[in-house]
Amino acid sequence: MILTVTLNTALDITYRVRSLRPHTSHRVSEVTERPGGKGVNVARVLAALGHEVTVTGFTGGATGRVVQERLASVPGVVDALVPITGATRRTIAVVDDRSGDTTQLNEPGPTVTPAEWSAFQEAYEALLPTASAVALCGSLPPGVPVGAYAGLVRTARSTGIPVLLDTSGEPLRRGVAARPDIIKPNTDELAELTGSHDPVRATQDARRRGAGAVVASLGAEGLLAATPEGRWRAAPPSTLHGNPTGAGDSAVAGLLSALVEHLPWPDRLTRAVALSAATVSAPVAGEFDRRVYEELLGRVTVTSEASAA
C-alpha cells in the first residue's frame, strides 16, 4: 500500500468559460467537482496505475463530506481521512476555452486545533506499518506547525519507509533537513529553497541540505533529477497544450509507483514525464489521458548528465 498525506484537502471545482475577462459576468459551460489536494490527486493517479493507495489528512464540514463521498467512488483508494471541526476548503479553477489558460483560486483551509493535529499524528503512525512508500504533499492548513512535514518525514524514515516530499516555502526548508528520500519542487520552489536560479546548481544544493534525491519540474521542458546514482534530464517529445492543473501531482505518482516497483531512475523519470504530459492533455483537470500516456512512454527523452554531487 502507498500512503499519501494531504493535510490541506480540498474540493476541486473546475469551471469552463468561453473566454475569461475581468470585470464582466460569465456563462459557465461546464462544472466539474472532485476530491482534491495534491496528495489526493497523487492517489487517484496511483490507483489508475493499479496500485493500492490509502489517503489520509484532514476532512471537515459539508465540503469534507462531499470529498469523502466522491473518494468512495474511486476504485483502489482507501479513505483514512481524520475528521476535524473546521470545513474543508474549496479550490476553483476557471478554464478559458479560447486561450486554454487556467486561473486558479485556492482557499487557505480550516484551522486545525492542537488536539486534531495530535489525532492525525496517531492515525499516521498507525498506517505506516502497512505502507510501502509515503507521499507528503501540499500546503499546511492554519494551525498545523510549520515543521509538521519534518516530523512526518522522520517518523516514516524511522520505520524504514521511503518518503517523497512535495511542498514549498518554510515547510519544504524544514522538511528537507529531515532527509526525505525524494523532493519534487518546481523551479520557483527550488530557487526559494536554495537561493539559486540555476536548476543544476540548485538541485545539487538541495541534496546537500538533506534531500536524498531532487526531481525538479521544469514545466514544459520536463524534469531534472539529481540522485545518488547520477543526474538526468527527461523531456517530452513536444509541448502539449491543455490544462496543467495536477500535472505535477501526476509526476509524483509516476515517481512513487516506479519507486515501489524498483525501477531504475531513467524509467522513473520516463513514467513521471509521460504521466505529467498526459495530464495536461486530459479533458478534466487532475486526470490523465491513458492513450497519450502510453504513446509517450516510448518517446520521452532521458539524457544522462555529469554525476550529481
* Among 198, 214, 207, residue whose Cα is nearest residue 165: 214
Q: Given the residues 166, 249, 267, 289, select the one marked as catalytic.
A: 249
Active site residue 249: yes
* Among 154, 112, 163, 143, residue whose Cα is nearest residue 5: 163
* Among 228, 20, 7, 182, residue whose Cα is nearest residue 108: 7
Task: Tell me the sheet residues that pair with 101.
Answer: none
In angstroms and rounded to an integer, the radius of gyration of the C-alpha atoms of the chain is 18
Distance linking the first and last C-alpha atoms of the chain: 32
Query: Number of helices and strands (H, E) in the chain?
Result: 10, 15
* Among 223, 286, 309, 207, residue whose Cα is nearest residue 258: 223
| CB 224 within 8 Å of CB 203 | yes
| CB 7 within 8 Å of CB 165 | no
DSSP single-letter state for residue 282 = S
* Among 132, 58, 116, 55, residue whose Cα is nearest residue 88: 58
DSSP single-letter state for residue 97 = T
**CA 83/CA 64 separation, integer angstroms:** 9
Please name the residue that has the C-alpha cell 466522491: 70
* Sign of the Cα pseudo-torsion (40, 44, 49, 51, in order): positive
Active site residues: 249
